[in-house]
Amino acid sequence: MAQEKTLHDLFTETLKDIYYAEKQILRALPKMAKSAQSEQLKMAFRTHQEQTEGQIERLEQVFEMLGKAPRGKHCPAIVGIIDEGKEIMEDFAGTDALDPGLLAGAQAVEHYEIARYGTLKTWAAQLGLTDAVPLLEATLKEEKETDALLTRLAGADVNRKAA
C-alpha cells in the first residue's frame, strides 16, 4: 500500500525542484550576459547572477531548518525554459532580435520562480515553518523586482531597437 503524501512532503519536493532550478539558472546567466548586446541587459543578467547566489544560500538555510542536506531534483520545466533560451542565442545571434528574445526567456524564468517561491512561502506559513517564510519572501521580492526591471528594459529600449 502506498504511503500517504503530505503537504510537508510536497513542500520538500518543491524545495528540491527550485534548488535544482536555481543552480541551472546560475549556470545560464553568464552565457546570457555574454550574448546580450545591450549594456543594460548585460548588467541586469550580472546583477541577477549575484542575487541567485544569495537565493541558493537562502534555500540551503531552509533545507537546514528541515534537517535535510540541500539537494536538487531534476526540473524538466526549467530545463525546457533554459533550452529555449539557448536556442534563441543560437538562432538570433548578431541580430537586433537577440536581446528581445533573451528578455522574453529571462522573464519566463522569472515567472516560473515567482510561482514557485509564492507557493513555497504560503506552504511554509501553513506548515508553521515561520523561520523559512522571511527567507522565501526575500527571494520572491527579488524575483518580482527582476521581472519588473526586465519589463522596463523591454519597453525603454530593447524591443524598440529590434522593431
Going from N- to C-terminal start, the domains of the chain cover 7-162
Q: Which fold has domain 7-162?
A: Ferritin (1.20.1260)
Tell me the average pLDDT of the chain. Answer: 93
∠ CA 76-26-83, nearest 5°, is 40
Query: Is residue 63 pLDDT above 90, yes or no?
Result: yes
d(CA 102, CA 89): 7
d(CA 90, CA 114): 27
Determine the pLDDT at residue 101. Answer: 92
- Assigned C-alpha cell, 108: 519566463
Is 139 within 8 Å of 117 (Cβ atoms)? Answer: yes
pLDDT confidence band for 160 (50 / 70 / 90): low
pLDDT confidence band for 81 (50 / 70 / 90): very high
Is 33 within 8 Å of 46 (Cβ atoms)? Answer: yes
* Mean pLDDT confidence for 56-82: 96
pLDDT confidence band for 161 (50 / 70 / 90): low
Query: Is residue 129 pLDDT above 90, yes or no?
Result: yes
Classify residue 1 as exposed, middle or buried by CB count within 10 Å of its CB (0-12, 13-18, 19+): exposed
| Predicted confidence (pLDDT) per residue in 13-62, tens digit | 999 999 999 999 999 999 999 999 889 999 999 999 999 999 999 999 99
